[in-house]
Amino acid sequence: MIPVQGVTGQTIAVLGLGRSGKATAAALKAGGAHVVVWDDGQEARAQAEAEGLELRDLNRADAWEGIAALITSPGIPHLYPDPNPVIARALDLGVPVDNDIGLFFRSFATPDWDNFGTTPKVITVTGSNGKSTTTALIHHILTSVGRPAQMGGNIGTGVLSLEPAHDGEVVVIELSSYQTDLARALTPDVAVFTNLSPDHLDRHGGPGGYFAAKRRLFAEGGPDRCVIGVDEVEGRYLANQMGQGPGDDRVIRISSGQKLERFAWGVFARKGFLSEYRKGRQVASVDLREITGLPGAHNHQNACAAYAACRAIGIAPREIEAAFRSFGGLPHRSQTVRELDGVRYVNDSKATNVDAAEQALQAFKNIRWIAGGLGKDGGIAALQPHLGHVVKAYLIGHSGPDFALQLAGTPYEVFDGMDAALARAHAEALPGDTVLLAPAAASFDQYPNFEKRGEHFTALVNALGS
């Protein structure tokens, strides 16, 4: 746990009692604060009270006497579409509102660091897509080369539940727009922006607000190095703002598809090869084509981001390349489960919408595609231009029959569930084929979440031939 600094003797209110809220309450207590908590859900309140937390109904006007700050969980709206009533009350009273990310950044450094040989560092990763894979890949590289490292934030451990830093340690944190939007302190050593596509627009009041939330990590944080994906105009704008010209190597531009030779520092992937350029000269290259944990152009962009972040803290190219080769990928995200008789089985259950499924379909050839579930508006019509690698579709779930009507000339069969679809795909697959679960649909018609769907697929694949 990281005790929160600067709160001794203060009364601090915590709103939201999920994982991050409870961890925040504990870290505030450890820092000497008097903590009161509230959650709109009765069950969460009862559980918190049973765990010894002091409840205070923050909807009451008299509840705010003596409260020095309100710490809110990231899922609770503070601005758009409307502020939660408790947060609105804090704004009216002028009570500072923060989140666990802000508390982390103001509390991470301690006097113990004066005795360290190497100052700890924080690498943060934000963006629309690829955040989790990039964060996990950076952490994997660090541990592979023997650097002490922790990983947390929007992936894995909550930031205040991390351990206080060790000598030379690197902490890698995934940050969502919900987390960067509100944090009052943001001071990473290296900040990564992967890409931007429309998401959470109601929460941020439109695309401009969504981008502004991401941009705060850079503009407010002042990182020593910025790793910025420039395949969208927002990334190019951000890179332009953070640098003093193309010769400023504090900005490392990354891309999947375009050359970046004219800048002081660029990392890009084209035709399966990652290249690092410094001041117009290529200094390193990595062949990504046979790295099974990073298939497809979207993962090549993730590789560029992770590579650049690790180069920014002095890790050598060949060490990074070796770590790439041992990276297994994250569960349910283009995860190679198994290769059997020349056939690859890939779990991309996280592909719950058309955009994600498109990335998966572009990553492989000779695809036997398992798709379906609870489809989104428009079905899979937008995927028609990307079905050239699909040998056959095996459609499941509520939207399977509807998806069949949108496949044009692609062969297909419709099945009741995953068991039958995988059995048929396995029976028909030939060496060189990829059996790909990329549903392009939510899981809730047959599974509680995409993780359970991916776990079922994985279990079935691992049972093949046994």
- Detail the residues annotated as belonging to a binding site: 127-133
Contact (Cβ atoms closer than 8 angstroms) between residue 248 and residue 264:
yes
Binding site membership for ATP: which residues? 127-133
Residue pair 99/182 in contact by the 8 Å Cβ criterion: yes
CA distance 148 to 230: 30
Rounded CA gap, 62 and 8, in Å?
23
DSSP string, 304-359: HHHHHHHHHTT--HHHHHHHHHT----TTSSEEEEEETTEEEEE-TT--SHHHHHH
- R_g (Cα) of the chain, nearest Å: 24
Long-range contacts of the stretch 44-49 (C-beta < 8 A, 24+): 44/17, 44/18, 45/17, 47/17, 48/17, 48/22
Structure tokens at 17: 């009692």
Residue 184 CA to residue 190 CA, distance in Å, equals: 18
List Cβ neighbours of 452 (8 Å cut-off, separation of 6 or more).
Answer: 443
Question: Which token pair is 127?
Answer: 């963006």
Of 191, 350, 199, the C-alpha closest to 183 is 191
Q: Count Cα atoms within 13 angstroms, Cβ side, for 425.
A: 38
Q: How many other C-beta atoms can be found within 10 angstroms of the C-beta atom of residue 71?
A: 29
Give just the sign of the alpha carbon dihedral 242, 247, 252, 254. Answer: positive
